[in-house]
Amino acid sequence: MGFQCGIVGLPNVGKSTLFNALTQTAAAQAANYPFCTIEPNVGDVAVPDDRLDTLAGIAGSKQIIPTRLTFVDIAGLVRGASKGEGLGNQFLANIRECDAVAHVVRCFEDSDITHVEGKIDPIADIETIETELMLADLDSLEKRVIALEKRARGGDKEAKESLDLVNRSLALLREGRPARLVDVKPEERRAFDMLGLLTSKPVLYVCNVEEASADKGNAFSDQVMARAKAENAQAVVVSAKIESEIAVLPPGEQTEYLEAVGLEEPGLNRVIRAGYKLLGLVTYFTVGPKEARAWTITVGTRAPQAAGVIHTDFEKGFIRAETIAYPDYVALKGEAGARDAGRLRLEGKEYVVQDGDVLHFRFNT
């Protein structure tokens, strides 16, 4: 199960520097000029989770396999991208393929790095990007209305449902509000997602600050944090420069570097976890002497579908899920202790897997 988070923002805000640090590679150019990224770069990153190491230690697992999240570095958008300015159309299409958007916002001053708008104003930068995405969505939806109306008049039930969602989305977009604010019922979610709207995607604001503000942020990032809170979005503070320096250090030296700059962990860990949360994802574990492994599922996933993430045969032949809550596994020193204490449960097809569950699936071959 793959989940993609697209990294967007104006040129020269630190997107590619952040991506390089995320993937610990120089695959994406980081240069002080617009459009240095011509093709989207894709990188899988491990989702940091201390629980996995704890479980592996208890079980004596020989191998530890974390779950992963995919980040896509998308070239800098500029004003007019929705009309094809810069390399707009190509990159808007790249965003459309992602599940969520990580919007990198410049929250630092540096006379050596030009700002495409000529001034540092993170809220204005956010609104520039959001406006371009909304204009692209407006254009996309308005082109569909006539055909949908014709099909709806002909009694096409699916067209009627789509038309209703299109009109509700258009009403918001014309007010200058993103499509993610549309009130969508659970039974409408699939049809709404099929509209492929750029502004329907959940947003994570990544405030790129100078090194001295990496721990607590600054006045610029405070503005972004306030906006994120008002939108019920996610926001994190990082210094892309620090993160790029940490990424190339050996693991043993990373801790020393973090202590030296007053950080408890890399800011990228917060970015990854926030992206994970933004997508509505949770983790369950399979643990044994061979390996301890984390698996990604969406919130609300039932046991058979969770089993299907490992292998489709597990879902088809699902019988039961032997389930131990993470705190019980740790407190009782593993599966045997949990079983003896009556904390190992047998759950059926309707069980909704919880974050941190340690599972062993029984299935028919």
Residue 294 maps to a domain? no
Residue 264 maps to a domain? yes
pLDDT, tens digit, 9 for 90 and up, residues 145-201:
999 999 999 988 999 999 999 999 999 999 999 999 999 998 999 999 999 898 999
- Same domain? For 263 and 350 the reply is no
Task: Please state, in angstroms and rounded to a whole number, the distance separating the CA atoms of residues 36 and 13.
Answer: 12
Q: Check whether 84 has a pLDDT greater than 80.
A: no
Residue 241 maps to a domain? yes
Percent of the chain with pLDDT over 90: 53
Q: Residues at the annotated binding site? A: 12-17
Task: For residue 37, count other CB atoms closer than 10 A to its CB.
Answer: 22
Task: Please state, in angstroms and rounded to a whole number, the distance separating the CA atoms of residues 151 and 324.
Answer: 51
What order do you get walking across the sheet with 291-298 strand by strand? Answer: 63-65, 291-298, 281-287, 358-363, 318-324, 345-347
Q: Which of 89, 136, 90, 101 is nearest to 3 (CA)?
A: 101
| The two three-digit tokens of residue 175, written as one number | 């007010």
pTM: 0.80
Q: Tokens 């032949």 appear where? A: 317
Question: In whole numbers, what is the pLDDT of the chain averaged over residues?
Answer: 86
Instruction: Give the range among 37-41, 74-78, 85-89, 127-131 with minimum mean pLDDT.
Output: 85-89
Residue 246 maps to a domain? yes
Q: Please report, for the domain that includes residue 352, its CATH number.
A: 3.10.20.30
Going by pLDDT thresholds of 50, 70 and 90, the confidence category of residue 321 is very high
pLDDT of residue 254: 85
- Same domain? For 183 and 322 the reply is no
Residue 295 maps to a domain? no
Q: How many CA atoms lie within 13 A of 264 on its CB side?
A: 2
- Tell which of 248, 278, 308 closes a domain: 278
| The two three-digit tokens of residue 84, written as one number | 């094809």
- Tell which of 245, 278, 311 closes a domain: 278
- Same domain? For 333 and 251 the reply is no
Going by pLDDT thresholds of 50, 70 and 90, the confidence category of residue 248 is confident
Q: Which of 355, 360, 197 is nearest to 276 (CA)?
A: 355
Q: Please report, for the domain that includes residue 145, its CATH number.
A: 3.40.50.300
Q: Number of folded domains in the chain? A: 2
- Same domain? For 69 and 115 the reply is yes
Residue 236 maps to a domain? yes
Q: Residues at the annotated binding site for ATP? A: 12-17
Mean of pLDDT values over 11-36: 61
Residue 288 maps to a domain? no
Percent of the chain with pLDDT over 70: 88
Parent domain of 219: 4-278
pLDDT of residue 115: 62
